[in-house]
Structure formats: C-alpha cells, structure tokens
Amino acid sequence: MTTAMRDVPRSGNRDERQGAAIVVGASLAGLMTALALSHAGVDVTMLERSGAAPRARKGAALGGVSEGLLSRITGSRHAQGDSAPLSSVAPGVQSWMAVHARLRAAVDADPYIELRPHTLVRSVDQDADSAWVIASDQQTFRGDVVIGADGHGSVVRVGVAPDKPDATFAGYLIWLGLTNESSLASSRRLPRDVDILSGGGDYLLGYPLPGPDGSVALGSRQVGWAWYDASHNDLLCETGSVVGNVVRRSLTSGDIPEATLRELADKAEDLWPSPWREAILDCIERRAVIGTPIAEYVPDKLVNGRLALVGDAAHVPTPMTGSGFSASLHDAEAVAEAIAAGVRGSTVAQALGEYERKRLGNVRGMVQSGQQFSRSFTGRAA
Ligand SMILES: Cc1cc2nc3c(=O)[nH]c(=O)nc-3n(C[C@H](O)[C@H](O)[C@H](O)COP(=O)(O)OP(=O)(O)OC[C@H]3O[C@@H](n4cnc5c(N)ncnc54)[C@H](O)[C@@H]3O)c2cc1C
C-alpha cells in the first residue's frame, strides 16, 4: 500500500470543530476511523453491537503494524492517557488484541469520540441533509455522514452497494490457536519471524507474539498459529457457520465435534514440525481452537451519497494477503481527510466521492491478488 503518510493536526477547540459522523463498528477499522475523524475536527459517535470488551480474535496476528503507524493514527504525541508502545517479537507482527487495546485506549481518552457498546445497527438511510442509522432498540443516530466499519457482514454495505451487499465464502477456513510459550517443551526453538509451511495441501502460519502483558522475554511469549484448510466445508454448512455462499460466524470450540479435533490432532502430528505441532496439540487438548471461514469481497463502490465504507466492510481480502490492517488504516485517513474537506467546503457527498477515487483501485487490486491464492488453494477455476 503506497498511500502518502500525513500528520493530521488535532483540532482541540470545540468552536473549531465542524461536522458529526456516525461510525458503525468499533473494531480496528472503526477505532482508526474515529481517531482520524476526531483529529480532523469531526465529532464521532461509534456504535458497537458487542459489550465493553471486544470480541477477541484469539490467536490472530497482524503483520505490518509498526509503532510509527500506530502513533500516527492514535496521535500519541498529543493525546493524554495513551498506553505504552507495543513491543514486537517478530518484526512488525502484533497480536490483534494488543493492537485493539492500544487503539481503544486512544479512543477512550478522546473527548470528541463517544463509544456506545451494546448497540446493534439494523438499517441505514440518508436524505439531502443528513444520514442516519436505526438500532435494534429503535433509537436513531444521525450525522453528516455514516461510516460503515462493521466488518465482512456489513449492514451499512446494504446502503452503499444494494446490488452487491454480501461478501462470499472463499471455500476454506482457518483454524486459529494461541498458547503460552511456557507450556511448550521446545519453546527455545521459536523462530524470530513468521513461519509459512505447506503440507498435505494445507498451509500453516506459525508466529511468536508478545505475552499477554506485552513481554517479549524468552519463556513469557505466546505462540500463535493459523492453519488453512479446505477440507471441512461440510462442517461449516452443517453448523450454520456458512449459509449458502455467505459467511455467518466462526466455529467456536463447542461447534467442533470431538472426531474433528482428533482428526486435526492426527494430521498435525503428520504434517507440522516443532514447535508448531506442540502448539496445535496444546490448543486442541484445551479445546481452545477457533475455525474462521474466510470471506472475500471485491468492491465496486465505497460510497453512496453520505454513506461510506472502510475496512472489511469495504473490502474483504483473504488474510493470506496480510493487508487488511494497513488497508483499513489508509481508508481511515483518506475518509477523514475527505469528510473534513466536505463539511468545510464542497458538499459531503462530493468529498466522499474523492475518498472513493483515491482508494477503490487499490483495494480492489488487494482483494483480487488474494483471490488468486484462494483459487489455487481450493483448486477452483478462475
Ligand atoms: C483470521 C484472520 C487473520 C487476519 N490476519 C491479518 C494479518 O495478518 N494482517 C492484516 O493486515 N490483516 C489480517 N486480517 C484482517 C484484519 O484483521 C482486518 O482487515 C482488520 O482488523 C479490519 O477489520 P474491521 O475492523 O474492518 O472488521 P471487524 O474486525 O470484523 O470489526 C467489525 C466490528 O463491527 C461490529 N459490528 C458488526 N456489525 C454491526 C452492527 N450491525 N452494529 C454494530 N456493530 C457491528 C463488530 O462487532 C465488530 O466489532 C485477518 C483477519 C482474519 C479473520
């Protein structure tokens, strides 16, 4: 991703602030968008269906997350109450939880962002003067713009791209797990970086991560793994995890039959070397495995009038691209820049059109490059 980096000055005086945005979804893309908007002088209300604690992506790691990028988006040179810098085991690789915590701390410290948990958005609409969402309790939230940061199953996408509202199942899942280094006999042999292995038609990514307290000391780290598997699509359909061609939810430990766990354990013994084999067996033993069906979405639009999409709501690449986080960050900065220009000068809708022109080609290319991997992995024809 080559979008130019830019420091957006923070407008801290209430009188200087203009415009109000509703952001649906308070995960990584939503948090980054809210921060970028606030720094650009726009007040933000965030609506998140989950409770105060995020839905954890246990075991998930994010590549390409540098301290510089996070400081830029959190405005940590200015914000009070910002948390300590992230520590990194492998270059640029962070646990999803650590990145989320860092962004969330910056949002909580920002007086111009209000985050409303337990708020499930059901629908979105707009007229010439404003855009709004209606939540499941019938409350209406109105702003100059509504930004959908509500992930691969986005509700806001229905308002932006009614002809193409759904991300589609890519034909495989990723088994994810996370274990403590201290529970592995072979912990001293953890590599410095991400290991990418293939075997029996499957792929495995193994990676060291900082410990839950951020420690990178030997013995206190965590070990994450992600196993790409195209042979359990029947289970995804039987459990309602995939319905038709649409991904509904991940498999949690209670959804995974004993026989499937035993089969995975046997396969891990055959396919994967230490320390990944032991990490997988430890997670299976503790029933701490999640199965995430992979969705993909190539956007034709990012914007409709006063509605715009960012992050996985806008574009869903396979995690194999390792690009979802950085694309979300560039979306956040570009959409905030456009909205700030829109509420001050040209119309908001025109300004959002500029956001789409800036980002659409890049993000389409990102998803399409991942589709080449997906097609060859699942053996599908292009
Ligand atoms: C297994 C896995 C591994 C990955 N690995 C990498 C990687 O290595 N590198 C990388 O760059 N990217 C990776 N990604 C992608 C990356 O995590 C995402 O692109 C990035 O986190 C942006 O996600 P998001 O915030 O847009 O969406 P999500 O994380 O899906 O968040 C959407 C939020 O919206 C909320 N929400 C949804 N619907 C509603 C509603 N109707 N009302 C209110 N709230 C709602 C949800 O509760 C959630 O909090 C990976 C993804 C997966 C699944």
DSSP 299-365: -S-SEETTEEE-HHHH-B--GGG--HHHHHHHHHHHHHHHHHHHHHSS-HHHHHHHHHHHHHHHHHH
| Residue 22: how many other CB atoms lie within 10 Å | 25
pLDDT score recorded for residue 6: 31
pLDDT score recorded for residue 59: 52
pLDDT score recorded for residue 57: 60
Q: How far is the CA of 65 from the centre of ligand 1 (A)?
A: 15
**Considering only CA atoms, which of 320, 315, 318, 325 is closest in space to residue 66?**
325
Using DSSP's 3-state secondary structure scheme, residue 192 falls into coil
What are the two backbone dihedrals, phi and then psi, of residue 143, each rounded to the nearest 5 degrees? -155, -175
Percent of the chain past pLDDT 70, that is, above it, reads: 86
Q: How far is the CA of 29 from the centre of ligand 1 (A)?
A: 7
Helical packing angle, 96-108 and 28-39, nearest 10°: 30
Using DSSP's 3-state secondary structure scheme, residue 163 falls into coil
pLDDT score recorded for residue 12: 52
pLDDT score recorded for residue 71: 84
Residue 27 near ligand 1, beta carbon < 6 Å: yes
Q: How far is the CA of 151 from the centre of ligand 1 (A)?
A: 5
Kind of pairing, strands 307-309 and 145-148? parallel
**Considering only CA atoms, which of 362, 382, 364, 363 is closest in space to residue 372?**
382
Asked whether residue 25 carries a pLDDT value surpassing 80, the answer given is yes
| pLDDT digits 0-9 by tens, 296-354 | 999 999 999 999 999 999 999 999 999 999 999 999 999 999 998 876 666 888 899 99
| pLDDT digits 0-9 by tens, 214-267 | 788 888 888 899 999 999 999 999 999 999 999 999 999 899 999 999 999 999
Q: How far is the CA of 163 from the centre of ligand 1 (A)?
A: 23
Q: Which atom from ligand 1 is nearest to the alpha carbon of 29?
A: 25
**Considering only CA atoms, which of 247, 229, 239, 77 is closest in space to residue 152?**
247
Of 150, 248, 374, the one to substitute when testing ligand 1's pocket (max ligand atoms within 8 A of C-beta) is 150
Per-residue pLDDT, averaged over 18-40, amounts to: 96
| pLDDT digits 0-9 by tens, 102-150 | 999 999 999 999 999 999 999 999 999 999 999 999 999 999 999 999 9
pLDDT score recorded for residue 23: 98
Q: What domains does the chain contain, in order, with CATH numbers?
A: 14-166+297-378 (3.50.50.60), 168-295 (3.30.9.60)
Exposure string over 65-93, b if 16+ CB within 10 A, otherwise e: beeebbbbbbbbeebeebbeebbbbbeeb
Residue 50 near ligand 1, beta carbon < 6 Å: yes
| pLDDT digits 0-9 by tens, 55-77 | 666 556 787 677 777 888 888 64
Q: Are 27 and 150 in contact (CB under 8 A)?
A: no
Q: Point out which residues pair with 114 in neighbouring strands.
A: 45
pLDDT score recorded for residue 309: 98
